[in-house]
Amino acid sequence: MLLEELEELEELKLTCSKDLPDTVRLNGISFSRDNFIVMAGPCAVESYEVTYNIARNLRRFGVKIFRAGAYKPRTSPYSFQGLKEEGLEILKEIKKKSGLHIITEVMEISDIEKVCEAADILQIGSRNMQNFPLLREVGRLNFPVLLKRGAGSTIMELLGACEYIVKEGNEKVILCERGIRTFENLTRNTLDISAIPLLKSMTRLPVVVDPSHACGRSHLVPSLSLAAIAAGSDGLLIEVHSEPSGARSDPNQSLNLCDFEKLMDKLKILAKSLGKKI
Amino acid sequence: MLLEELEELEELKLTCSKDLPDTVRLNGISFSRDNFIVMAGPCAVESYEVTYNIARNLRRFGVKIFRAGAYKPRTSPYSFQGLKEEGLEILKEIKKKSGLHIITEVMEISDIEKVCEAADILQIGSRNMQNFPLLREVGRLNFPVLLKRGAGSTIMELLGACEYIVKEGNEKVILCERGIRTFENLTRNTLDISAIPLLKSMTRLPVVVDPSHACGRSHLVPSLSLAAIAAGSDGLLIEVHSEPSGARSDPNQSLNLCDFEKLMDKLKILAKSLGKKI
Amino acid sequence: MLLEELEELEELKLTCSKDLPDTVRLNGISFSRDNFIVMAGPCAVESYEVTYNIARNLRRFGVKIFRAGAYKPRTSPYSFQGLKEEGLEILKEIKKKSGLHIITEVMEISDIEKVCEAADILQIGSRNMQNFPLLREVGRLNFPVLLKRGAGSTIMELLGACEYIVKEGNEKVILCERGIRTFENLTRNTLDISAIPLLKSMTRLPVVVDPSHACGRSHLVPSLSLAAIAAGSDGLLIEVHSEPSGARSDPNQSLNLCDFEKLMDKLKILAKSLGKKI
Amino acid sequence: MLLEELEELEELKLTCSKDLPDTVRLNGISFSRDNFIVMAGPCAVESYEVTYNIARNLRRFGVKIFRAGAYKPRTSPYSFQGLKEEGLEILKEIKKKSGLHIITEVMEISDIEKVCEAADILQIGSRNMQNFPLLREVGRLNFPVLLKRGAGSTIMELLGACEYIVKEGNEKVILCERGIRTFENLTRNTLDISAIPLLKSMTRLPVVVDPSHACGRSHLVPSLSLAAIAAGSDGLLIEVHSEPSGARSDPNQSLNLCDFEKLMDKLKILAKSLGKKI
């Protein structure tokens, strides 16, 4: 990016950088500076039995928001694309049975309505961070939106994308750092941990971290999660599966239930010493 | 990107890597190994007078395809977003008057039909390279599509994206390298010149280069254009404006008419020595 | 980096990845899994008065190792290059007066002997990570060496560089992550926080973090420091100056004494909850 | 890199950016705007027989400068490190027998004298681009130096490094672009083709390209070579081996003699149409 482009962006008087409430509320859960919200679940919605079993266990460990994709954007059209409507039905059922809130991805304007029926938070994935028509459309809702940073996008571009939503009236935006593309190839992406304090200094919106996509290796996820809370993030979006090696996507980056439980224990200790509630 | 991801992609038997015709034809123009097609024009459609004046001159220099955006994806929602429908009407008028073919960007499924009425080639911009619903939809047309590589996307991902289009039946895809994100900051992006021979060795589709977005500086555009033809590309997508400093977007990267004319002369000399028709 | 290069490196049976003691000791200070060592001080040695004043205060805050460069590698030959021998004399004086240990950079084989007289730990800077003759030479010493990762170097390359030292017999190596080059330009580099758990899983050597060079902005340093300890690092190398705006190099990334004191308090709280001594 | 760093560098009044002669001469060979100099040879000096056989053939194809490393900087200390003094002796013998000029790498101050006895051009490798003591030392010679850009270094840093040489009085510097580190992993590095016109606009020094290290794949080398001459470079540094698969280093990126001969033919055609002598 050239100097002049950056300066141009810095001059933008972004609404998202100043006037927004720093709390995003949904039915009794608040993303705010005093809380630390762990969103966990499998990459994709799988069968009801498998998915519900994961959800039930996560609830037991203290998780309040369940993540799982019904629509999966994949590099190749021949990879598993998600259960789609069937996946949304499974999520509704899990929500009813478990009492967990649901976060799930929406990829297309024409799906927004049905995804909203199953979800408590809409996720805009990293590949769609600059899908401006989609951003504008979710901007017209009064519904929490988690906006993931694109793997090849700068922080200024993330704020620009956020502004597309906020400008339409929806101020319930949660920003998510999920790793950026670099030359390092022992990890899937490089978690830009600096993005947390930077975004916190440039906007009042909640900032969460997806350590699973950031590194792509489950054995690194706990360290990145602890780093995220210490650096000031307001929550996590983690992939957890009851049997990672059998997961229909991203098997290498999902924690198993046992390792996730251990991580939750460590997060609780750290949260306490940082003055945050988990 | 991790080793295992890459290997997985390499194992994909992509249709786009084997069976496609290596020529994309539109009303008498062929993108093929013997031709070199220069697509030129302003970043955005502006007033009819300004835009037509540019088109008229480009035609004079031997250009056969005119580029200009009616819909402009911009980092900030407060930047100029294009003239939209009004821009499409201007493009139709220019097409009629000048006899030039038109390439212009489509950002949204609901716009495809009206953009097709004005365009001879649909452009999918770099921000939408992995907008899979949009790719699938243009895949159902029998209409030439130019697919730009995302600035943060690998070559394997570009081929995966291409496959979303081809899988639906539309084989008229032109691939476009337009620079990738790197740490170098004297240029807007870094033109990945290796992408040309790599894509040529992995697929039979035409490969063109956008030197304007690649470097973001007009004084570098001629050198990159000459490099592109020498490296084996099948064409260029260049920004040209009658008065670059007054352009409504990307003023620093547009060639003026005079410098473009000089570049065309050099391209013709090089094309001849390389056995290509321009 | 190509697949085959990476595989080749992975096949290397690096000594540094297995057999080394996980503790580096110097006169009563141990870099080890139970400790967290904060090394702090100005970028460069300045006048005795200024430098000693910083050292004295840092000692008061609990710092045991003082950092300051007598030899400064700079991008331009016209920038301040350090006080050299005079700087080493000042460091010796400070060591004597304050009882602090000293870490300082060596850039050249012919300087090793005199730098060793002033230092307790030799620093190999990021620009010299692959200066193999220099690495071999410090490998022949029985003297602690802190090896910084190059800003454009992979983790495998850092391990390869480390092996040059270890192979010669010196096993007292401390690895230092200090940020890598990426496209993000709101920070000087991007701290690769994943490098900490990765290096910890691939070698038994101590791993520390330089948050100051990683981000280049003092207001981000505290968050990165807390992230580093949470992610499992064994220490920090931080730039602190009594009057950052007057520092002879890197004024934007130095903490002032007051902010550093606050950071130490937070680090102590976190260290305690993580079971580490500071 | 931060804005303020870049601005600081831009303000530097680099000698290398203005006052230098644009021609580097050695015994009848001139690097200049009218010539295109192809330097070719194996990655490393091997046995006299193998190496001389390659040299003899290259001479036949019109090459005037032979490249081969006696000292090889390698990521791992267990990889082949070059034949060292023995290699220099072989180079001297080849020079005498073939009449070819020699370019070879120097890694260490204490080797400069003996390398100068065998070489006509000293090569500073990419890992040593910021080895400032080495740069200063070759700056004190009156001897041509080819300075390679570091794989993780910006263009401004390359100019800063160049200035370390020029400042000491040696103005015979040839700059070499050899690919930079990016996220793309189908190639070893990404050739920054824009660096050619950029360096040409910022300095009067000759600029050459190393396409072999840039891509790491021999089948891409011809396209990159043609791109380099078209973009305005003054020469090439290419790896060629009589039996690439048996080369002691970099087997995947060396052209065989037959493919190199074909490339020379194409380069000659292009050079002619660009008004350059080869």
Euclidean distance between CA atoms D188 and D253, whole angstroms: 10
Q: How many CA atoms lie within 13 A of B93 on its CB side?
A: 15
Element spanning D172, H or E: none
Does the beta carbon of D8 lie under 8 angstroms from any beta carbon of chain A? Answer: no
Question: Where would I find the H helices in D43-178?
Answer: 48-60, 85-98, 112-118, 132-139, 155-167
Buried b or exposed e, range A19-30, using 16+ CB within 10 angstroms: ebeebbebeebb
Q: Which residues of D touch C74 (CB under 8 A)?
A: 132, 160
Q: How many CA atoms lie within 13 A of C135 on its CB side?
A: 31
Residue of C6, C72, C76 best to disrupt the D interface, most CBs of D under 10 A: C76
Does the beta carbon of C216 lie under 8 angstroms from any beta carbon of chain D? Answer: yes
The verdict on a CB contact (< 8 Å) between C183 and A186 is no
User: Span D225-229, mean pLDDT?
Assistant: 98
Q: Is the pLDDT of residue C4 over 90?
A: no
The C-alpha angle with vertex D144 and arms to D141 and D145, in degrees rounded to 5, equals 90
CB-nearest to D3 from A6, A183, A185 is A6
Distances (CA, A) of D225 to D213, D239, D277: 12, 12, 15
- Could you say which DSSP state residue C168 is in? T
Which pLDDT band, with edges at 50, 70 and 90, does A1 fall under? Answer: very low
Chains touching chain D through at least 3 C-beta pairs below 8 angstroms are A, B, C
Q: Is the pLDDT of residue B3 over 60?
A: no
Does the beta carbon of C194 lie under 8 angstroms from any beta carbon of chain B? Answer: no
Euclidean distance between CA atoms B183 and D143, whole angstroms: 32
Does the beta carbon of B187 lie under 8 angstroms from any beta carbon of chain D? Answer: yes
Per the prediction, chain B carries an average pLDDT of: 92
Closest residue in B to D222 (Cα–Cα) = B231
Q: Which residues of A touch B108 (CB under 8 A)?
A: 109, 133
Q: What is the 3-state secondary structure (H, E, C) of chain B?
A: CCHHHHHHHHHCCCHHHCCCCCCEEECCEEECCCECEEEEECCECCCHHHHHHHHHHHHHCCCCEEECECCCCCCCCCCCCCCCHHHHHHHHHHHHHHCCEEEEECCCHHHHHHHHHHCCEEEECHHHCCCHHHHHHHHCCCCCEEEECCCCCCHHHHHHHHHHHHHCCCCCEEEEECCECCCCCCCCCECECCHHHHHHHHCCCCEEECHHHHHCCHHHHHHHHHHHHHCCCCEEEEEECCCHHHCCCCHHHCECHHHHHHHHHHHHHHHHHCCCEC
Does the beta carbon of C201 lie under 8 angstroms from any beta carbon of chain B? Answer: no
User: Span B87-103, mean pLDDT?
Assistant: 97
What pLDDT was estimated at residue B1? 45
Does the beta carbon of C219 lie under 8 angstroms from any beta carbon of chain A? Answer: yes
Taking the CA of residue B5 and the nearest CA in chain C, the distance in Å comes to 11
Closest residue in C to B10 (Cα–Cα) = C3
What pLDDT was estimated at residue B138? 98
Euclidean distance between CA atoms A236 and A215, whole angstroms: 14
CA nearest to D165, candidates D136, D204, D199: D136
CB-nearest to C215 from A184, A194, A214 is A194
Q: What tens digit of pLDDT does each residue of C118-177 get?
A: 999 999 999 999 999 999 999 999 999 999 999 999 999 999 999 999 999 999 999 999
CB-nearest to D197 from B183, B220, B273 is B220
Q: What tens digit of pLDDT does each residue of D118-131 get?
A: 999 999 999 999 99
The verdict on a CB contact (< 8 Å) between C2 and D163 is no
Q: Would you call B126 exposed, middle or buried from its count of C-beta atoms within 10 A (0-12, 13-18, 19+)?
A: buried
The verdict on a CB contact (< 8 Å) between B75 and A252 is no
CB-nearest to D132 from C107, C152, C185 is C107
Euclidean distance between CA atoms C105 and C88, whole angstroms: 10
Does the beta carbon of C220 lie under 8 angstroms from any beta carbon of chain A? Answer: yes
Per the prediction, chain C carries an average pLDDT of: 92
Taking the CA of residue D273 and the nearest CA in chain C, the distance in Å comes to 35
CA nearest to A162, candidates A204, A107, A211: A204
User: Span D161-173, mean pLDDT?
Assistant: 94
Q: Is the pLDDT of residue A66 over 90?
A: yes
Which pLDDT band, with edges at 50, 70 and 90, does A32 fall under? Answer: confident
Taking the CA of residue A270 and the nearest CA in chain C, the distance in Å comes to 7
Q: What tens digit of pLDDT does each residue of D6-32 get?
A: 555 555 556 666 666 677 777 678 888
The C-alpha angle with vertex A12 and arms to C185 and A200, in degrees rounded to 5, equals 60
CA nearest to C265, candidates C253, C255, C278, C252: C278
CB-nearest to C183 from B6, B7, B182 is B182
Q: Is the pLDDT of residue A174 over 90?
A: yes
Does the beta carbon of D269 lie under 8 angstroms from any beta carbon of chain A? Answer: no
User: Span B7-28, mean pLDDT?
Assistant: 66
Euclidean distance between CA atoms C193 and A205, whole angstroms: 23
Q: Is the pLDDT of residue C218 over 70?
A: yes
Q: Do residues C185 and A154 lie in contact, with contact meaning Cβ atoms separated by under 8 Å?
A: yes
The verdict on a CB contact (< 8 Å) between D182 and A185 is no
Helix, strand, coil percentages in chain A from 3-state DSSP, rounded to 5: 45, 20, 40
CA nearest to D165, candidates D121, D209, D207, D134: D134
Report the relative pairing of strands B235-239 and C173-177 from DSSP bridges. Answer: unpaired
CA nearest to B143, candidates B108, B179, B170: B170
Euclidean distance between CA atoms D97 and D93, whole angstroms: 6
Report the relative pairing of strands D24-26 and D29-31 from DSSP bridges. Answer: antiparallel
CA nearest to D235, candidates D19, D14, D29: D29
Taking the CA of residue B87 and the nearest CA in chain C, the distance in Å comes to 33
Q: Do residues A55 and A48 lie in contact, with contact meaning Cβ atoms separated by under 8 Å?
A: no
Q: Is the pLDDT of residue D248 over 90?
A: no
The verdict on a CB contact (< 8 Å) between C181 and D152 is yes
Q: Do residues A80 and A249 lie in contact, with contact meaning Cβ atoms separated by under 8 Å?
A: yes
Q: Which residues of C touch B181 (CB under 8 A)?
A: 183
Q: What tens digit of pLDDT does each residue of C67-84 get?
A: 999 999 999 999 999 999
| Portion of chain D with pLDDT greater than 90, in percent | 82
The verdict on a CB contact (< 8 Å) between B128 and A133 is no
What pLDDT was estimated at residue C204? 86
User: Span A38-51, mean pLDDT?
Assistant: 97
Q: Is the pLDDT of residue C1 over 50?
A: no
Per the prediction, chain A carries an average pLDDT of: 92
Report the relative pairing of strands B65-67 and B101-105 from DSSP bridges. Answer: parallel
The verdict on a CB contact (< 8 Å) between B131 and A128 is yes
Distances (CA, A) of B133 to A97, B130, C60: 32, 9, 61
| Portion of chain A with pLDDT greater than 70, in percent | 92
Euclidean distance between CA atoms D47 and A211, whole angstroms: 51
Decide: helix, strand or coil at residue A210: coil
User: Span B163-174, mean pLDDT?
Assistant: 94
Q: What is the length of chain C?
A: 278
Does the beta carbon of A150 lie under 8 angstroms from any beta carbon of chain B? Answer: yes
Per the prediction, chain D carries an average pLDDT of: 92
Which pLDDT band, with edges at 50, 70 and 90, does B13 fall under? Answer: low
CA nearest to C224, candidates A193, A176, A273: A193
CB-nearest to A12 from B1, B76, B152 is B76
What pLDDT was estimated at residue A231? 98
Q: Which residues of B touch C181 (CB under 8 A)?
A: 183
Which pLDDT band, with edges at 50, 70 and 90, does B123 fall under? Answer: very high
Residue of A75, A78, A149, A220 best to disrupt the B interface, most CBs of B under 10 A: A75
Q: What tens digit of pLDDT does each residue of A231-278 get?
A: 999 999 999 999 998 888 778 899 999 999 999 999 999 999 999 999
Q: What tens digit of pLDDT does each residue of B47-69 get?
A: 999 999 999 999 999 999 999 99
Taking the CA of residue B186 and the nearest CA in chain C, the distance in Å comes to 12
What pLDDT was estimated at residue D7? 54
Q: Is the pLDDT of residue D254 over 70?
A: yes
Which pLDDT band, with edges at 50, 70 and 90, does D230 fall under? Answer: very high
Which pLDDT band, with edges at 50, 70 and 90, does B32 fall under? Answer: confident
User: Span A129-133, mean pLDDT?
Assistant: 97
Does the beta carbon of A6 lie under 8 angstroms from any beta carbon of chain D? Answer: yes
Q: Is the pLDDT of residue A109 over 60?
A: yes
Residue of A12, A132, A147 best to disrupt the B interface, most CBs of B under 10 A: A132
Q: Do residues C247 and C241 lie in contact, with contact meaning Cβ atoms separated by under 8 Å?
A: yes
Q: Which residues of A touch C191 (CB under 8 A)?
A: 192-194
Residue C23: CB atoms within 10 A of its CB come to 16
Taking the CA of residue A162 and the nearest CA in chain B, the distance in Å comes to 9
Q: Which residues of D touch B180 (CB under 8 A)?
A: 182-184, 190
Does the beta carbon of C27 lie under 8 angstroms from any beta carbon of chain D? Answer: no
CA nearest to A163, candidates B71, B77, B73, C186: B77
| Portion of chain C with pLDDT greater than 70, in percent | 92
Does the beta carbon of B181 lie under 8 angstroms from any beta carbon of chain C? Answer: yes
The verdict on a CB contact (< 8 Å) between B181 and C185 is no
Buried b or exposed e, range A227-250, using 16+ CB within 10 angstroms: bbbbbbbbbbbbbbbbebeebbbb
CB-nearest to A127 from B130, B167, B216 is B130
Q: Is the pLDDT of residue B75 over 50?
A: yes
Buried b or exposed e, range B25-53, using 16+ CB within 10 angstroms: ebeebbbbeebbbbbbbbbbbbebebbbe
Buried b or exposed e, range C144-178, using 16+ CB within 10 angstroms: bbbbbbbbbbbbbbbbbbbbbbbbbebbbbbbbbb
What pLDDT was estimated at residue D255? 97
User: Span B85-102, mean pLDDT?
Assistant: 97
User: Span B105-125, mean pLDDT?
Assistant: 97
Taking the CA of residue B6 and the nearest CA in chain C, the distance in Å comes to 9
pTM confidence score: 0.95
Euclidean distance between CA atoms B236 and B259, whole angstroms: 15
